[in-house]
Copies of this chain bind each other. A is one copy, B any other.
Amino acid sequence: MGRKGLLLVFSGPSGAGKGTICRALLNEIPSLRLSVSATTRPSRSGEIEGKHYFFLKRDVFKKMIEDGQLLEWAEVYGNYYGTPLQYVQKTLAGGNDIILEIDIQGALQVKEKFPEAVLIFIVPPSKSDLKLRLLSRGADAEGEVARRLACVASEMNFAWRYDYIIINDVIDRAVSNAAAIIRAEKSKPGYLEDFLRNFSDEKTSDR
């Protein structure tokens, strides 16, 4: 079958649990691949080149932007971050599905270039639940929780531009919802183009 893979883009407010969901999916679905981002920020201790990031020099990254070799990119606090196009294209052409775990701006850039990308927004069940999660992580450095809660309020306005929303109340249910979305996307006529063509072309004797 000449089926191409799915381009799956996950984003959502920090603390919503998208990392956990993506890791569980990668464990569960062997054909899934994770896209590795490129960045110009220095690597931190424990980070592995090609696993956590591709660490690039600024001039290399800028050349990739110019040459259209990035599916999406952004500059954050003076560092560049982006998704190398080549690995994504190769994975999809090989018939594997690929996950991008990127921010909202990046996700919308991807949708513009690849309208067939599947955008999934992971959200906490409520603001008060998110607040509890952030506090229990101990991540509360002076007003950090308040800052994140203000952030989530504005991020939620983008939920409408996503194809799917997964409410992460119970992690197992959230993961199986994500798996269901993947199955559903593979049941769309566009994805089954080859099957439909082969079906029509099949010759059967008249009886």
A153 at the interface (CB under 8 A from B): yes
Interface size of A by CB at 8 A reads: 40
A22 to B11, CA, bound (A): 34
Number of this chain's copies in the complex: 2
A137 at the interface (CB under 8 A from B): no
Contact B189 A184 (CB under 8 A): no
A93 at the interface (CB under 8 A from B): no
Contact digits for A183-207, partner B, Cβ 8 Å, 1 yes 0 no: 1110111001001101110101011
Contact digits for A125-167, partner B, Cβ 8 Å, 1 yes 0 no: 0111001000000000001011001000100100110111111
A85 at the interface (CB under 8 A from B): no
Contact digits for A56-68, partner B, Cβ 8 Å, 1 yes 0 no: 0000000000000
Contact B196 A159 (CB under 8 A): yes
A131 neighbours in B (Cβ, 8 Å): 204
Contact B189 A160 (CB under 8 A): yes
Interface residues of A (CB under 8 A from B): 123, 126-128, 131, 143, 145-146, 149, 153, 156, 159-160, 162-167, 176-177, 179-181, 183-185, 187-189, 192, 195-196, 198-200, 202, 204, 206-207
Since A164-B188, A165-B189, A184-B184 are in contact, a sample of 13 more A-B pairs with Cβ atoms closer than 8 Å, ordered by chain A residue number, is A128-B202, A146-B206, A153-B200, A156-B196, A156-B199, A159-B189, A160-B196, A164-B189, A165-B187, A167-B195, A176-B183, A180-B180, A180-B181
